[in-house]
C-alpha cells in the first residue's frame, strides 16, 4: 500500500487560491508531503500538485474537501495510477579531492547534473519521483550534505486509456468529466457489475 | 423607515454602488440587515437613492448576521448583510461561522478601505478575505467594477445552491465610487462548482435492496431535509416502508412529532428510545445529516451493528465520520422521492413489526418526563404548555443552552422551518436577532423566541431593532439565574463547583420596557398561561417585542443525557427511570 498520494488540483488562477487550498489542509489536519503550484497552458487556470500522506479514507476526505472549494475546478487522485512524477532537488555536498570521483559516479547513476564544483563541494541537480530522490539523499548523506533545496512533486497520469477512465469514474459517479458534466453512465455500469459479483 | 429621495442630478454617473444595487434587485433581494460606516457609505447612499430595498439597521453587526440567518431559515431565501470595513466586518465573524456550520444561505457585503491603501494597515482595515476563508463557502475581494455583475451573480448562486452557506464579498470603497456602465451579467455557474442533484440510480437501487432486507431499520433525518424541502418525501418514504424516523436538532420539524413512527431527537440529550433504536439498528438511512459528535456520542460504540446508507448533497459528509455501505450524493428531495417510489413497488413489504414493538417497549420504558418541584416552575412544563397552545405553523426560535434542549425535547414540531436554532456552532445570543429576522421574513407567522437568561443578554441590544421596525414577537425567557447548561455539567462532572455560572441578570421585563417594548415577570405557575396569552395578543396588536421573564426551577437538569465522550446507549435516563438492558 502506498502511503503517499499525489493529488492534482486544477484551480482558478486568482489571488488567494493557494491560501484556500493550503488553509484547508492545515485546518483539517491533512499532512502535506510536498506542494507545487504553477500556471497551466490556460492562464486562467493553475495546477496545484500536492502529495498527501495518509491512508485511503484520509485521501478520500482530502479529495472531497478540495472539491467543496468553489475555486477548485477539478481534482484527480493519481494514487496507484500509471503516471509520470517528478521533483527537482539541488544538493550541495562535501566533496574533498579524494571523494570527488566517487561522487561523480553516484551522480551519474542517478543521472544528476553537476551544476557547480569547487575545492570543498559540489552542487548536484537531480530530478525524479519521490522514491528516487529519497534514495539519492540516503546515498549522499554519509558524504555530508551542506545544503539542500527541493521543489514539490508534480505528476501527470500517463494516458487517457482504460485506467484513466476507471480512475475518473471511481468515485461512484460524481467525478466531473473534463467538460464539467457528470458522467455517471460508466460508473453505473461498473457498479452494476459490482453488485452482480456480490450477489 | 427610509424616505427614499430621488437622485438630485438625474445625469449623475452610474457607479459601482449603483451596479451593486442593480445586481441585488436582480437577485430579488427585498431586505438587507446591516450597519453603515465609513467604508460602506457610498453603497448605503446608492440604496437610499434607489429606495426599493428595505434596510434594517441593527444594534451590532453580529445581530445583523443572525437576523439574516433567521430570515434565511424562515423563508429559504438568501439572507443579506452589509457592514463597513474593519470592526463592522469582523463583528460578522460569529454569524458567518454559525451560518457555515448550519448551511444557511447568506451573502455578506463588507466595505473595505480603498484599493491603494490595502495591505497598509489603514484605518479600519481588516483582511476579511483571509479572516473568513475557513468560515465561508466562498469569498471574494473585488478589484474592479468590471467584476461586480459576475461576482454578485455567482455569490448568490453559490450561497443558495448545493449545500447552502455564507458567501462574503469584500468591496473596496473606490470600487463603489468608480464609474460603471455595464449591464447585468447572466447568472453563470463557476466552472468546476457543479452541485449534484440527482442521486445515482444504481446507488438508489442498492439502497432499496439493503432497506428491503433490513430487520431493524431506522431513518435519521437532519437539517438537509428541511433545506432541500424534502419533508413530504421523507414522510412518504416512512409511510411506504414503515421505518421509524429520528430527527437531529436541525432536522426537527421535517417529520411530525405526533406521528407514531417518530423517535424524537437522538444523541447527547436525545430520547432514550431514539438512542436505543439507533444502537440496535441493523440499517440506518442517514439523510442530510453530518453525524456530528453530539448525535453519535462515542463513535466506536455508535450503532455498532448498523450498516449505513448516507444521502447528502455534499459528498464530503459521506464517510467523514463513519464508514458507509451505500453512499448517495444528491439532493435529499430527489433521492428520497426516488427511494419512496422504489419502495412502493416492493412486491412484499418487509415485516419489521417485531422491531416496531421493541421500539414501542422502549418508548414505554423511557418516556420523556421531568422532575416537577412545585411551587417552582419546571422549564420543561413551560415548553410543553407552549406546544399545546401555539398553532403548529408558529416559528419557534431559541438561543443556546438548556432552554434550547428543553425546546428540542418537549416542543412538538410538525412543520419544516418552524424551528430556528443555532445547531453546529452553538452560538449563545443567536435567538433574539434570529427571531427578528424570521419575523421580518415571515410577517404573517407568529414568532416565539424561547431564550435563556444568559443567551438573551448577549444580543439584547436588538430589542431596539425590534421596536424600531415594529417586529411583534413573544420572547419567553426561561430564567434560572444561571448559565444553566454549564452549571449542569459542573453539577454532574465537576463536583458541583459553580465556577462563574451564577448570573445576576438585569430585570428583563423592565429592560424591555425601557427599550420601548413590553415586559412582564412571571413568578408562579398560575400566572403563566394568562401571561402567554397577554404577550401573544400584545405582540400581534402593538407589533412590539413582548418579554416574559419566567422564573423557573433553578437547578433543573436536561435529561436524558449521554455523558460527553460516552456511548449513546449508556444514557442517563429521565428522573425516576432506571437504565437497564
Q: Mark yes or no for CB contact B192/A65 under 8 Å.
A: no
pLDDT tens sequence across B210-233: 999 999 999 999 999 999 999 999
Nearest to B191 among A15, A180, A195 (CB): A180
- Nearest Cα residue in chain A from B129: A16
Same-domain status, A74 and A166: yes
Same-domain status, A170 and A145: no
User: Taking Cα atoms as reference points, which of A30, A15, A127 lies closest to residue A71?
Assistant: A15
Tell me the whole-structure pTM to 2 decimals: 0.92
Q: Which chain A residues are Cβ-neighbours of B316 within 8 angstroms?
A: 61, 64-65, 67-68
Q: A192 CA to chain B: closest CA distance, Å?
A: 7
Annotated catalytic residue, options B428, B485, B518, B561? B485
Contact B232, B186 (CB under 8 A): no
Q: Which chain A residues are Cβ-neighbours of B190 within 8 angstroms?
A: 12, 70
Q: How confident is the model at residue A42 (pLDDT cuts 50, 70, 90)?
A: confident
B249 occurs within a structural domain: yes
B361 occurs within a structural domain: yes
Same-domain status, B170 and B225: no
- Nearest Cα residue in chain A from B143: A15
The pLDDT value recorded for residue A159 is 64
Same-domain status, B29 and B103: yes
Q: A161 CA to chain B: closest CA distance, Å?
A: 23
The pLDDT value recorded for residue A179 is 32
| B5 pLDDT higher than 60 | no
User: Taking Cα atoms as reference points, which of A32, A56, A37, A144 lies closest to residue A95?
Assistant: A144
| A47 pLDDT higher than 80 | yes
Cell, residue A91: 544538493
B445 is catalytic: no
The pLDDT value recorded for residue B191 is 63
Mean pLDDT, chain A, integer: 83
Contact B253, B415 (CB under 8 A): yes
B490 is catalytic: no
Interhelix angle B61-75/B93-101, nearest 10 degrees: 30
Q: Mark yes or no for CB contact A191/B202 under 8 Å.
A: yes
Same-domain status, B162 and B209: no
Residues in Cβ contact with A198 at an 8 Å cutoff, skipping those fewer than 6 apart = none
Same-domain status, A178 and A140: no
- Nearest Cα residue in chain B from A28: B134
Would an 8 Å CB–CB cutoff place A60 in contact with chain B?
A: yes
Same-domain status, A9 and A68: yes
Same-domain status, A8 and A78: yes
Cell, residue A120: 570543498
B124 is catalytic: yes
Let me know the angle formed at the C-alpha of A179 by A178 and A182, rounded to the nearest 5 degrees: 85
B504 is catalytic: no
Q: DSSP secondary-structure letter at A28? A: H
Same-domain status, B310 and B389: no
| B193 pLDDT higher than 90 | no
- DSSP codes of every residue in B367-388: -------TTSBPHHHHHHHHHH
B232 occurs within a structural domain: yes
* Neighbour tally for B513: CB within 10 Å: 15
Q: A125 CA to chain B: closest CA distance, Å?
A: 37
Same-domain status, B206 and B162: no
B424 occurs within a structural domain: yes
pLDDT tens sequence across B18-46: 999 999 999 999 999 999 999 999 999 99
Q: Does residue B560 have a cis peptide bond before it, meaning omega lies within 30 degrees of 0?
A: yes
* Rounded Cα distance, B105 and B35, in Å: 20
Cell, residue B2: 427610509
Which CATH number do you get for residue A26? 3.30.70.260
| A198 pLDDT higher than 70 | no
Same-domain status, A97 and A124: yes
B418 occurs within a structural domain: yes
pLDDT tens sequence across B118-131: 999 999 999 999 99
Same-domain status, B404 and B342: no
Would an 8 Å CB–CB cutoff place A20 in contact with chain B?
A: yes
Same-domain status, A60 and A126: no
* Rounded Cα distance, B196 and B35, in Å: 36
Residues of the domain holding A123: 85-150
Same-domain status, B409 and B276: no
* Rounded Cα distance, A147 and A135, in Å: 17
B428 is catalytic: no
Q: Helix (H, G, I), strand (E, B), or coil: what is residue B394?
A: coil
Q: Mark yes or no for CB contact A188/B133 under 8 Å.
A: no
* Rounded Cα distance, B237 and B259, in Å: 13
Contact B450, B487 (CB under 8 A): no
- Bridge partners, residue A28, by sequence: none
pLDDT tens sequence across B91-146: 999 999 999 999 999 999 999 999 999 999 999 999 999 999 999 999 999 999 98
pLDDT tens sequence across B479-503: 999 999 999 999 999 999 999 999 9
Same-domain status, A94 and A65: no
The pLDDT value recorded for residue B190 is 54
Cell 429621495, residue? B5
Nearest to B200 among A70, A74, A188 (CB): A188
| B7 pLDDT higher than 50 | no
B572 against A194, higher pLDDT: B572
Nearest to B133 among A20, A68, A181 (CB): A20
Q: Which chain B residues are Cβ-neighbours of A69 within 8 angstroms?
A: 138
Same-domain status, A77 and A162: yes
Residues of the domain holding B159: 16-177
Same-domain status, B78 and B150: yes
**Total domain count, chain B:** 3
B456 occurs within a structural domain: yes
For the segment B504-530, the average pLDDT, to the nearest whole number, is 97
Same-domain status, B398 and B356: no
Q: How confident is the model at residue A190 (pLDDT cuts 50, 70, 90)?
A: low
The pLDDT value recorded for residue A76 is 87
The pLDDT value recorded for residue B270 is 98
pLDDT tens sequence across B334-372: 999 999 999 999 998 889 999 999 999 999 999 999 999
Q: A57 CA to chain B: closest CA distance, Å?
A: 8
Cell, residue B199: 442521486
B193 occurs within a structural domain: no
Contact B474, B548 (CB under 8 A): yes
- % of chain B residues with pLDDT over 70: 96
Chosen from A174, A175, A177, A191 to mutate, greatest number of chain B CBs within 10 A: A174
Would an 8 Å CB–CB cutoff place A184 in contact with chain B?
A: yes
Q: How confident is the model at residue A160 (pLDDT cuts 50, 70, 90)?
A: low
Q: Which ipTM was obtained for this model? A: 0.89
Same-domain status, A14 and A61: yes
Q: Which helix (H) or strand (E) holds B328?
A: strand B326-329
| B49 pLDDT higher than 80 | yes
Q: Which chain B residues are Cβ-neighbours of A72 within 8 angstroms?
A: 192
Q: Which helix (H) or strand (E) holds B481?
A: none
Q: How confident is the model at residue A170 (pLDDT cuts 50, 70, 90)?
A: very low
The pLDDT value recorded for residue B451 is 98
Q: How confident is the model at residue A185 (pLDDT cuts 50, 70, 90)?
A: very low
Between the CA of residue B180 and those of B40, B41, B42, B383, what are the distances in Å? 17, 17, 14, 54
Which CATH number do you get for residue A106? 3.30.70.1150
User: Taking Cα atoms as reference points, which of A84, A97, A143, A91 lies closest to residue A112?
Assistant: A91
Q: B362 CA to chain A: closest CA distance, Å?
A: 35
Same-domain status, A122 and A74: no
Which CATH number do you get for residue B296? 3.40.50.1220
**Total domain count, chain A:** 2
pLDDT tens sequence across B136-191: 999 999 999 989 988 999 999 999 999 999 999 999 999 999 998 766 555 554 56
Would an 8 Å CB–CB cutoff place A61 in contact with chain B?
A: yes
Same-domain status, B414 and B357: no
Contact B577, B366 (CB under 8 A): yes
Same-domain status, B407 and B505: yes
Annotated catalytic residue, options B33, B61, B419, B456? B61
Same-domain status, A193 and A104: no
The pLDDT value recorded for residue A173 is 40
Chosen from A172, A177, A183, A193 to mutate, greatest number of chain B CBs within 10 A: A172
| B279 pLDDT higher than 50 | yes
Same-domain status, B272 and B398: no
B434 occurs within a structural domain: yes
- Please tell me which of A58-72, A154-168, B541-555 the model is most confident about, judged by mean pLDDT: B541-555
Interhelix angle B16-26/B41-50, nearest 10 degrees: 60
Least confident of B80-84, B179-183, B401-405, B543-547: B179-183
Q: Helix (H, G, I), strand (E, B), or coil: what is residue B118?
A: coil
Annotated catalytic residue, options B128, B156, B157, B173? B173
Contact B214, B282 (CB under 8 A): yes
Amino acid at each position: 500500500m502506498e502511503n503517499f498520494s499525489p493529488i492534482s488540483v486544477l484551480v482558478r488562477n486568482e489571488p488567494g487560491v493557494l491560501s484556500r487550498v493550503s488553509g484547508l489542509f492545515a485546518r483539517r489536519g491533512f499532512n502535506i508531503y510536498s506542494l507545487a503550484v504553477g500556471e497551466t497552458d490556460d492562464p486562467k487556470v493553475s495546477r496545484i500538485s500536492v502529495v498527501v500522506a495518509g491512508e485511503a479514507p484520509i485521501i478520500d476526505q482530502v479529495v472531497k474537501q478540495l472539491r467543496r472549494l468553489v475555486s477548485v475546478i477539478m481534482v484527480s487522485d493519481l494514487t496507484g495510477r500509471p503516471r509520470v512524477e517528478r521533483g527537482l532537488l539541488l544538493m550541495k555536498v562535501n566533496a574533498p579531492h579524494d571523494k570527488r570521483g566517487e561522487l561523480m559516479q553516484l551522480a551519474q547513476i542517478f543521472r544528476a547534473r553537476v551544476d557547480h564544483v569547487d575545492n570543498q563541494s559540489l552542487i548536484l541537480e537531480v530530478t525524479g519521483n519521490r522514491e528516487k530522490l529519497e534514495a539519492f539523499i540516503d546515498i549522499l548523506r554519509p558524504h555530508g550534505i551542506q545544503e539542500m533545496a527541493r521543489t514539490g512533486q508534480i505528476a501527470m497520469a500517463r494516458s487517457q486509456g482504460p485506467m484513466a477512465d476507471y480512475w475518473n469514474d471511481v468515485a461512484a459517479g460524481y467525478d466531473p468529466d473534463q467538460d464539467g458534466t457528470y458522467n455517471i453512465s460508466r460508473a453505473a455500469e461498473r457498479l452494476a457489475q459490482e453488485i452482480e459479483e456480490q450477489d | 423607515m427610509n424616505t427614499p429621495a430621488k437622485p438630485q442630478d438625474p445625469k449623475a454617473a452610474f457607479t459601482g454602488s449603483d451596479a451593486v444595487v442593480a445586481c441585488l434587485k436582480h437577485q430579488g433581494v427585498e431586505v438587507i440587515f446591516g450597519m453603515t460606516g465609513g467604508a460602506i457609505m457610498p453603497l448605503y447612499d446608492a440604496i437610499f437613492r434607489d429606495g426599493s430595498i428595505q434596510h434594517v439597521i441593527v444594534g451590532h453587526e453580529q445581530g445583523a448576521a443572525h437576523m439574516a440567518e433567521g430570515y434565511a431559515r424562515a423563508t429559504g431565501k438568501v439572507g443579506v448583510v452589509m457592514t463597513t470595513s474593519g470592526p463592522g466586518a469582523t463583528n460578522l465573524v460569529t454569524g458567518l461561522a454559525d451560518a457555515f456550520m448550519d448551511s444557511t444561505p447568506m451573502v455578506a457585503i463588507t466595505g473595505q478601505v480603498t484599493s491603494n491603501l490595502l495591505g497598509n494597515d489603514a484605518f479600519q482595515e481588516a483582511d476579511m478575505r483571509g479572516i473568513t476563508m475557513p468560515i465561508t463557502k466562498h469569498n471574494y475581494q473585488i478589484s474592479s467594477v468590471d467584476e461586480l455583475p459576475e461576482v454578485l451573480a455567482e455569490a448568490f448562486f453559490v450561497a443558495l445552491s448545493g449545500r447552502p452557506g455564507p458567501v462574503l464579498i469584500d468591496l473596496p470603497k473606490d470600487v463603489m465610487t468608480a464609474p460603471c456602465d455595464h449591464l447585468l451579467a447572466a447568472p453563470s455557474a463557476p466552472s468546476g462548482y457543479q452541485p449534484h442533484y440527482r442521486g445515482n440510480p444504481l446507488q438508489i437501487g442498492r439502497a432499496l435492496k439493503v432497506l428491503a432486507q433490513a430487520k431493524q431499520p431506522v431513518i435519521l433525518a437532519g437539517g438537509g431535509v428541511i433545506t432541500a424541502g424534502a419533508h413530504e418525501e421523507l414522510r412518504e418514504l416512512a409511510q411506504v416502508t414503515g421505518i421509524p424516523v429520528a430527527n437531529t436538532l436541525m432536522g426537527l420539524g421535517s417529520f411530525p412529532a405526533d406521528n407514531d413512527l417518530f423517535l424524537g431527537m437522538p444523541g447527547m440529550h436525545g430520547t432514550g428510545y431514539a438512542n436505543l433504536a439507533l444502537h440496535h439498528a441493523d440499517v440506518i438511512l442517514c439523510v442530510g445529516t453530518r453525524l456530528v459528535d453530539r448525535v453519535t456520542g462515542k463513535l466506536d460504540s455508535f450503532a455498532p451493528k448498523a450498516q449505513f446508507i448516507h444521502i447528502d448533497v455534499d459528498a464530503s459528509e459521506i464517510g467523514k465520520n463513519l464508514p458507509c455501505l451505500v453512499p448517495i450524493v444528491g439532493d435529499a428531495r430527489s433521492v428520497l422521492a426516488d427511494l419512496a417510489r422504489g419502495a412502493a413497488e416492493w412486491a412484499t413489504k418487509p415485516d419489521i413489526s417485531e422491531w416496531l414493538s421493541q421500539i414501542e417497549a422502549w418508548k414505554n420504558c423511557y418516556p420523556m418526563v421531568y422532575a416537577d418541584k412545585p411551587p417552582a416552575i419546571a422549564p420543561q412544563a413551560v415548553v410543553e404548555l407552549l406546544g399545546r397552545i401555539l398553532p403548529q405553523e408558529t416559528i419557534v426560535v431559541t438561543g443556546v443552552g438548556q432552554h434550547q434542549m428543553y425546546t428540542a425535547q418537549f416542543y412538538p414540531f410538525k412543520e419544516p422551518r418552524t424551528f430556528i436554532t443555532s445547531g453546529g456552532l452553538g452560538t449563545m445570543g443567536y435567538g433574539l436577532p434570529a427571531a427578528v429576522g424570521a419575523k421580518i421574513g415571515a410577517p404573517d407567522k407568529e414568532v416565539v423566541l424561547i431564550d435563556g437568561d444568559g443567551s438573551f443578554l448577549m444580543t439584547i441590544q436588538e430589542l431596539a431593532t425590534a421596536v424600531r421596525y415594529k417586529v411583534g414577537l413573544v420572547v419567553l425567557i426561561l430564567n434560572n439565574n444561571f448559565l444553566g447548561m454549564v452549571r449542569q455539567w459542573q453539577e454532574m462532572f465537576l463536583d458541583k463547583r459553580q465556577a462563574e455560572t451564577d448570573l445576576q441578570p438585569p430585570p428583563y421585563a423592565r429592560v424591555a420596557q425601557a427599550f420601548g417594548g413590553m415586559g412582564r415577570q412571571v413568578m408562579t405557575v398560575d400566572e403563566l398561561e394568562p401571561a402567554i396569552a397577554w404577550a401573544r395578543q400584545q405582540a400581534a396588536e402593538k407589533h412590539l417585542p413582548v418579554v416574559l421573564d419566567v422564573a423557573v426551577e433553578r437547578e433543573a437538569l436536561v435529561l436524558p443525557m449521554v455523558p460527553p465522550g460516552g456511548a449513546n446507549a449508556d444514557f442517563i435516563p429521565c428522573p425516576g427511570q432506571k437504565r437497564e438492558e
